[in-house]
């Protein structure tokens, strides 16, 4: 036998799921429990007390005296005469009309005697009834037990015997149908996740803080209400019985106040800062809610399953009601049984009584009543399910009552779950909506950020850069901490990967700020902050993925001197994406563009009159159209790097003020056009490094003002004498070529200070090289040099000598005559340094600070 607790456990669900059970589900659960109790009670009674008691219907060969008929004559009918064990078992059945009665037996001889009279027989019957104590059936105990059991199965209606079990089965089916959506694997995981998130959102300190700030929004009505709060009780009603409010009395009937009508309405939230743990938990909740919404909104399985199980319960109710009602009248106390076991018992008919009949009938009526109530609730549930679209949920009321106007509406299973929660307590969905708002999330990030990044912590991250400026670099934060703008002595501010960066008016305190870096950081600027940046910012770096990420206010910084744009300026179809007009950048001097340009943006011409330096670094995309360069008449420095140029662009020859040209990392093979540089009278620096140049044309002699020539990482095999006719040349870099010989004409370069020929095939150093007495840097590494002439000691200004990677076996002692050379400036193998005399090593090991400074 099972207990009630074991059966009731079928209806048990996790307590946390109760928020998803509306009142009708709870009511139906209680009804199911009552029906279970009915089934268990009926089953217990049936197993312990249910029985049938049967007695045989005795038959006689003599009919009793019949009742007078309508004609006044008695109709006597003799049915049958039977003989039991002896003459005493005989009896007669007498019918009056159609109603037979059983009379006591009389001796057979008297019953068959022709002189028998009815009056005499009646008198004898009465006499025998007075003398006897009961009718004898001549059945023993085992026969009675046998008949009782036979008639229990034959005479009783099947419903009387199986009623408790049917009720139990039906109730279990109803319970399973009610809670199937909590158990089905594809829905229970979502429900469990939803309930878990909902509970955490409800209990989160951030929810309380956000709603408290909403309730105390800085509006005029709230200010007036807070002013009079001291004279009001702690809990204020939202309705008023004092008539219409005056002009100075704020009305409290707005929906915004109804939002927290069950809470203290006039208390200003005391919690202003969340601790770090609560803040991190709240941020994790925002992410969980976002992912859960994306996962659940894609389907409506939970909704369909709930509708399906409700329809099943409704059909089950109709089915139970229809067939059960027919069996109410079949449950009776008396039953006639014809077991057909006359050969065992001696009787053909028995009259039986069922002792549980009245109890079962009352239980059945109670069960039908419960089922009717259950069914009406199912019908109401169906009405609720189809009355409104439950696959859509609007937070319109929450948006009206709070400052979070961006809370989105949801759909499908997410919407249905929120509708179910509303039937339990609408406060759950209101508090849950806080975690659907981006405004709320941004506010949380701001509070947590300011709590974590204090002024002292930011001060520890301030460093000095190569230009000896105070610099702060913030990387991958949720925003810009407020304390940043209290660092008033900061020179450089770098913001990287901060998508929600906002620059407030407090930036005007940073009077020393002149350089700002925005790396994948489309910062938003308040009007006051923009005014400050427009007047004080001098250098701006903007790194982006798409040109749309460049903030619009960048193009309005009229006092900006340097602008660095790093990002994609070409679309997939290779169509140019134009920058916005640069016309407002009236003081821009340096423009640096690192992108994938195919042509120079025409908007650059807006700053042509005052632009002095233009740098274009491509990612290997071929720069084809360069006509815009002709308008850059005032450009003094031009860099076109990694632009896949095959020749020197002719547009460059129109830049009469050009002083430095850098064509690094292109595909230039020939520089025959170099003769045209003679028109560029101010050109002093030419950088053609990292190309594919094979030879230097003799026409380079016409570029007489060249002071620096960079030809490293090319394919040169020799240096023509024309190079050494450039008398003003101070720096010559031909490293990493295939040059085998240094021409003796190098002595003509009397102003040469820096000579780099590292990574070539030189095996001999001409003595004429050491006549360039102004040499300060001499790079001879990674060649095939076997010895260093003693005349190296003539280079009195030499501060850097590179000899590493050659075939030397010793170093000349005359290195000690190079007064400015120190060991730190001598790049050579250690074993070669040990070959120097001790006094020379001592000279080279001297403190380099003072001599080196003098040399510089």
Higher pLDDT, 669 or 212: 669
Q: 118-122, 200-204, 396-400, 583-587: which has the minimum mean pLDDT? A: 118-122
How distant, in Å, are the alpha carbons of 365, 554, 558, 565, 607 from that of 538? 92, 12, 9, 15, 15
The per-residue pLDDT for range 511-523, each reduced to its tens digit, is 999 999 999 998 9
* Token digits of residue 84: 């039991």
With bands split at pLDDT 50, 70 and 90, how would you rate the model's confidence at 134?
Answer: low
Distances (CA, A) of 223 to 218, 253, 403, 592: 7, 16, 16, 52
Those residues whose C-beta lies under 8 Å from the C-beta of residue 656, and which sit 6 or more positions away, are 633, 679, 680, 681, 682
Are 91 and 98 in contact by the 8 Å Cβ rule? The answer is no
Looking at the chain, the whole-number percentage of residues with pLDDT higher than 70 is 79
Q: What is the pLDDT of residue 792?
A: 92
Q: Given pLDDT bands bounded at 50, 70 and 90, which one contains residue 725?
A: very high
Would you call 131 exposed, middle or buried from its count of C-beta atoms within 10 A (0-12, 13-18, 19+)? Answer: exposed
Rounded Cα–Cα distance for residues 369 and 394 (Å): 39
Report the C-alpha gap between 62 and 214 in whole angstroms: 101
Domain assignment of residue 86, yes or no = no
CA neighbor of 529 nearest in space, from 485, 562, 492, 486: 485
The residues that bridge with 755 in the sheet, in sequence order, are: 732, 778
> Do the domain assignments include residue 262?
no
**pLDDT for position 211:** 66
Residue 730 to residue 775: CA distance in whole angstroms: 9
| CB atoms inside a 10 Å sphere around CB 364 | 22
* Calpha distance 501→491 (Å, rounded): 19
Q: Would residue 492 count as lying in a domain?
A: no
Contacts of 524 (CB under 8 A, 6+ apart): 501, 502, 503, 551
What residue has token string 């709230």?
A: 222
Cα-based distances in Å from 626 to 532, 648, 656: 36, 11, 16
> For 511, how many CA atoms within 13 A lie in the half-sphere containing its CB?
0
Query: 333 lies in a domain?
Result: yes
Domain annotation covers residue 432: no
* Strand ranges (E), 51-140: 52-56, 76-78, 82-84, 86-96, 99-103
- Examine residue 41 and state whether it is found in any structural domain, yes or no: yes
Highest-confidence range of 213-222, 398-407, 622-631, by mean pLDDT?
622-631
pLDDT at 249 over 50: no
What's the Cα-to-Cα distance from 342 to each of 92, 334, 552, rounded to whole Å?
19, 21, 110
What does the pLDDT average to over 602-631? Answer: 85
Nearest to 855 by CA among 810, 827, 828, 825: 825
Q: How far apart are CA 801 and CA 754, in angstroms?
A: 10
Longest dimension (CA), the chain: 181
- Write the pLDDT tens digit of every residue in 575-590: 445 566 788 888 899 9
Q: Does 145 reside within a domain?
A: no
Q: State how far the Cα of 198 lies from the Cα of 420, in Å rounded to an integer.
A: 13
SS3 219: coil
Q: Which helix (H) or strand (E) holds 23?
A: helix 23-49
* Rounded average pLDDT over 603-616: 86
Is 84's pLDDT higher than 50?
no
Confirm whether 356 is domain-assigned: yes
pLDDT at 79 over 80: no
Residue 196's contacts (CB-CB under 8 Å, 6 or more residues apart) are 16
Rounded to an integer, what distance in angstroms lies between the CA atom of residue 251 and that of residue 258?
12
- The encoded tokens of residue 731 equal 């720096």
Instruction: Give the separation between CA 217 and CA 195, rounded to whole angstroms.
Output: 30
Question: Which secondary-structure segment (H or E) carries 777?
Answer: strand 777-779
Residue 665 falls in which region: left (phi positive, over 0), alpha (psi -120 to 50) or beta? left
In DSSP notation, 373-428 reads HHHHHHHHHHHHHHHS-TTEE--HHHHHHSS-TTPPPEEHHHHHHHHHHHHH-HHH
> What's the rounded mean pLDDT across residues 110-132?
44
Which tokens sit at 723? 């190079």
Residue 231 has a pLDDT of: 40
pLDDT of residue 541: 94
Residue 185 CB partners (closer than 8 Å, separation 6+): none
Phi, psi of 802, deg, nearest 5: -110, 120
Domain count, the chain: 1
Query: CB under 8 Å to 7, separation ≥6 — which residues?
Result: 36, 40, 168, 172
| Sole residue written with tokens 């991250």 | 461
Q: Is the pLDDT of residue 277 over 90?
A: no
Domain that holds residue 367: 4-57+155-184+308-389
**Proportion of the chain above pLDDT 90, given as a percent:** 36
Is the pLDDT reported for residue 652 higher than 50?
yes
Q: Which CATH number does the domain housing residue 361 bear?
A: 1.20.1440.80
Average pLDDT over residues 361-367: 88
Q: What is the DSSP string of 579-619?
A: PPP-TT-TT--EEEEEE--SB--GGGGGGTTT--EEEEEES
Q: At what angle are helices 426-433 and 185-203 packed, to 10 degrees?
A: 80
Higher pLDDT, 62 or 709: 709
Residue 463: pLDDT band by 50, 70, 90 thresholds?
Answer: very high
Say if pTM beats, i.e. exceeds, 0.85.
Answer: no
């Amino acid at each position: 036998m099972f207990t009630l607790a074991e059966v009731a456990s079928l209806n048990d669900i996790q307590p946390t799921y109760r928020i998803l059970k509306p009142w009708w589900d709870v009511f139906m659960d209680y009804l199911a429990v009552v029906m279970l109790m009915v089934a268990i009670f009926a089953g217990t009674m049936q197993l312990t007390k249910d029985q049938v008691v049967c007695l045989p219907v005795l038959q006689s060969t003599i009919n009793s005296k019949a009742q007078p008929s309508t004609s006044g004559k008695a109709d006597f009918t003799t049915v049958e005469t039977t003989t039991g064990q002896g003459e005493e078992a005989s009896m007669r059945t007498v019918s009056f009309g159609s109603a037979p009665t059983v009379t006591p037996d009389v001796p057979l001889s008297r019953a068959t005697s022709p002189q028998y009279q009815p009056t005499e027989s009646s008198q004898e019957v009465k006499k025998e009834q007075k003398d006897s104590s009961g009718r004898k059936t001549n059945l023993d105990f085992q026969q009675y037990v046998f008949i009782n059991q036979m008639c229990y199965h034959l005479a009783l209606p099947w419903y009387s015997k199986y009623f408790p079990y049917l009720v139990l089965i039906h109730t279990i089916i109803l319970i399973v149908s009610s809670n199937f959506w909590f158990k089905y694997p594809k829905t229970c995981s979502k429900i469990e996740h939803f309930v878990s998130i909902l509970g955490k959102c409800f209990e989160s300190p951030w929810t309380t803080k956000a709603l408290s700030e909403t309730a105390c929004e800085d509006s005029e009505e709230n200010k007036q209400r807070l002013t009079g709060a001291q004279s009001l009780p702690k809990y204020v009603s939202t309705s008023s019985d004092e008539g219409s409010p005056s002009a100075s009395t704020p009305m409290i009937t707005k929906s915004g106040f109804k939002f927290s009508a069950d809470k203290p309405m006039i208390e200003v939230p005391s919690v202003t800062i969340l601790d770090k743990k609560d803040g991190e938990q709240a941020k994790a909740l925002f992410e969980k809610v976002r992912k859960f919404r994306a996962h659940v909104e894609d389907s409506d399985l939970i909704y369909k399953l709930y509708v399906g199980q409700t329809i099943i319960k409704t059909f089950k109710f109709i089915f139970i009601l229809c067939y059960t009602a027919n069996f109410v009248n079949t449950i009776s106390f008396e039953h006639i049984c014809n077991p057909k076991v006359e050969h065992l018992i001696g009787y053909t008919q028995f009259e039986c009584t069922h002792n549980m009949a009245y109890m079962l009938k009352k239980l059945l009526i109670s069960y039908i009543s419960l089922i009717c109530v259950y069914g009406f609730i199912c019908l109401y549930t169906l009405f609720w399910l189809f009355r409104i679209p439950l696959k859509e949920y609007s937070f319109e009321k929450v948006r009206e009552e709070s400052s979070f106007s961006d809370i989105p509406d949801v759909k499908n299973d997410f919407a249905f779950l929120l509708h179910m929660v509303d039937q339990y307590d609408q406060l759950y969905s209101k508090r849950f909506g806080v975690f659907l708002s981006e405004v709320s999330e941004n506010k949380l990030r701001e509070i947590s950020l300011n709590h974590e990044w204090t002024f002292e912590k930011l001060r520890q991250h301030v460093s000095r850069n190569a230009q000896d400026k105070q610099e702060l670099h913030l990387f991958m934060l949720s925003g810009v901490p407020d304390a940043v703008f209290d660092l008033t002595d900061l020179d450089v501010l770098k913001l990287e990967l901060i998508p929600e960066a906002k620059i407030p008016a407090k930036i005007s305190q940073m009077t020393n700020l002149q350089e700002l870096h925005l790396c994948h950081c489309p910062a938003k600027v308040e009007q006051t902050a923009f005014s400050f940046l427009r007047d004080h910012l001098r250098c701006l770096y903007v790194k982006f993925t798409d040109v749309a990420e460049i903030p619009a206010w960048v193009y309005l910084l009229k006092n900006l001197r340097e602008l660095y744009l790093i990002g994609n300026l070409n679309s997939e179809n290779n169509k140019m994406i134009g920058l916005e007009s640069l016309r407002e950048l009236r003081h821009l001097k340096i423009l640096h563009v690192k992108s994938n340009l195919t042509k120079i943006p025409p908007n650059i011409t807006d700053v042509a009159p005052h632009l002095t330096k233009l740098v274009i670094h491509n990612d290997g995309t071929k720069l084809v159209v360069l006509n815009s360069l002709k308008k850059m008449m005032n450009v003094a420095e031009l860099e076109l790097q990694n632009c896949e140029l095959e020749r020197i662009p002719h547009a460059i020859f129109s830049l009469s003020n050009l002083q430095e040209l850098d064509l690094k990392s292109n595909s230039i093979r020939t520089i025959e056009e170099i003769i045209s540089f003679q028109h560029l009278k101010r050109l002093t620096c030419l950088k053609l490094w990292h190309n594919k140049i094979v030879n230097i044309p003799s026409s380079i002699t016409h570029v007489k003002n060249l002071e620096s020539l960079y030809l490293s990482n090319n394919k040169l095999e020799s240096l023509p004498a024309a190079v050494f006719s450039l008398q003003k040349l101070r720096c010559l870099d031909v490293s990493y070529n295939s040059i085998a010989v240094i021409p003796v004409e190098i002595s003509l370069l009397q102003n040469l200070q820096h000579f780099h020929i590292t990574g070539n095939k030189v095996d001999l150093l001409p003595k004429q090289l050491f006549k360039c007495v102004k040499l300060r840097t001499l790079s001879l590494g990674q060649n095939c040099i076997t010895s260093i002439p003693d005349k190296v000691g003539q280079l009195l200004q030499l501060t850097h000598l590179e000899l590493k990677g050659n075939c030397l076996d010793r170093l000349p002692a005359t290195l000690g005559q190079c007064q400015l050379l120190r060991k730190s400036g001598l790049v050579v193998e250690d074993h070669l340094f040990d070959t120097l005399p001790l006094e020379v090593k001592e000279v080279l090991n001297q403190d380099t600070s003072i001599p080196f400074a003098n040399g510089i």
